[in-house]
Structure 1
Amino acid sequence: MSPLLLLSFLLAGAAAASPSPPPPPPVPPRWPDQYHAVLVTNLTDPGGRLRQIGIYYDWPRGRALNYVRDQLSDDPVVDVQWANGTSFLFDRESCETVQYATGLQPPDWASRAAYLGRETVDGFECHVWSNFYFVRYDVDVATGRPVSWVSVTEAGTRTRRHVLSFEPGAAVMPDDSKFQAPAHCFNRKNADAATA
């Protein structure tokens, strides 16, 4: 066998044996400018209960509305969030105003997230992302819809929220009055806003 032919066989064998480079990570997910989502959180591990959260996200108007209902509760807690970082948490009788250092999450928040790979979550094959908004954000590979996310509470507890439904678009938005904090959020008792 000629040395040239032997060299070509050796090079072909080396090329076949070398591992192919891993595929590039997928394009980070982008939220629609407006959406409605229903999530459930299982708080039973630390002795709590189930919680349902209805989210109305409205980026063009710089606002979000969350209805937080604990298991078997009569009165939901409403969380109105504004783009400037102001958040009003209220029910029929009380209100707490919180000023966060960061405002409403932009739709492209994941463009600055780290891709952690793929994993099966709640029975769905998911791309997994992480950044300072979420410790973990799971997106269905097949549809691009969020499946769950894990965030850290002010107390440092990790909380996983499972997405039951996710509806993009303005058609699902409640009327503007629902995005306003009630008058009792602006009385003297609530005038001193907490900072998170």
Structure 2
Amino acid sequence: MWKVVFQFLVLDVLLTASQKTPVFPPAYTVDFQEELHVFGQSFYNKGTWYYDFPNGRARYDHLRGQRDNFCFGQKLSDNDPHAPCSLLFTNHSSMYVYYPEAKTCCDLCGVQKGCTVLKPTWLSNGSYIGDKIIHGSTCHGWTTPGFSFLDTLYATNSNVPCLYTEKSYKGNISHALTFNQASFKTGQPDETIFKIPTYCKDKCPNPWIDDIRN
């Protein structure tokens, strides 16, 4: 019996050692299907990630129906709070909340408060948790603890993202992005994607990052 257990342990170690944490391209674009589960209620919508790490830029578009925590509570779209909302990072400085239909925008937080673009190696200290078949692809799972959520990401051998999830340590909140692997495109997105509107000057009235740290 002990011999069998030992063999399984060795196999598990070898399988874990054979996997390498994903290192994502420095710039890419990918579409996703979003799910949010909050205290028994479920919400769905779509969106797109635009990523340009060398220039410290990223844009996360949450399309109509979104209930993103960073977007809510800023009074940028009172008539339609679930309208499309973008989170913009620019030049290693701030993160902005932007409602393009309402043409409203505010500065949510800066680097000093932890609002930065994820590094391509952000999973370097992650733990391997096994594989899943996602939309026909074998995707390797890695998890790492965040400030308020446990973050998990599955990616292919080619470092194409398959699924990102976050689950709160307290309460019944989970969030998932299932990526459209066929839409994954490497290379710097169009410059106009990251343009900050000229009217985006004021600080956001409710800096969400401050709220969760107090």
TM-score by length of 2: 0.67
Quick one: distance in 2 between partners of 1:185 and 1:17? 60
Q: Match of 2:44, as an amino acid?
A: L
8 Å Cα contact 2:128/2:141 also seen in 1: yes
Gaps of 5+ in 1: 1-14
From 113, 120, 129, give the equivalent of 1:116.
129
Tell me how far 1:166 sits from its aligned partner: 1.4
Q: Which amino acid is 1:95 matched to?
A: C
Match of 2:160 among 145, 149, 163: 145
Aligned residue pairs, count: 175
Counterparts of 1:44 and 1:113, CA distance in 2: 24
Structure 1 residue 88 corresponds to structure 2 residue 96: yes
- Are the aligned partners of 1:83 and 1:103 in contact in 2 as well (CA < 8 Å)? no
When residues 117 and 181 of structure 1 are mapped into structure 2, their CA distance, relative to the original with a 3 A threshold, is same
RMSD: 3.3
* 1:51-72 deviation digits (Å, cap 9, x = unpaired): 2111110011001012220249
**What letter matches 1:57 in structure 2?**
Y
Deviation at 1:144, TM superposition (A): 3.4
**Comparing 77-86 with 41-50, which one deviates more in the overlay?**
41-50
Contact 1:97 1:193 in 2 (8 A): no
Amino acid paired to 2:22: P
Shifted more, 80-89 versus 27-36: the winner is 80-89
The alignment status of 1:30 with 2:23, answered yes or no, reads yes
Over 3 Å counting, the alpha-carbon distance change for 1:42 and 1:195 in structure 2 is: closer
Q: Which residue of structure 1 aligns with residue 32 of structure 2?
A: 39
What is the CA distance between 1:184 and its match in structure 2?
2.3
Q: Does 1:179 align with 2:194?
A: yes
Q: Does residue 1:104 correspond to 2:98, yes or no?
A: no
Do structure 1's residue 65 and structure 2's residue 78 form an aligned pair?
A: no
Q: Secondary structure at the match of 1:150?
A: strand
C-alpha distance in 1 between matches for 2:194 and 2:125: 28
Give aligned-pair identity as a percent: 17
For residue 163 of structure 1, the aligned residue among 179, 184, 194 is 179
Tell me: CA distance 1:18–1:62, structure 2 relative to 1, closer, same or farther (3 Å): closer
Q: Describe the superposition over 1:133-174 as per-residue Cα deviations: whole angstroms up to 9, x where unpaired.
A: 562101135x43211100257x9622010001211112xx12
Return the letter of the residue paired with 2:56: G
Mapped partners of 1:152, 1:86: distance in 2? 25
Q: TM-score, normalised by structure 1?
A: 0.73
DSSP 3-state at the match of 1:144? coil
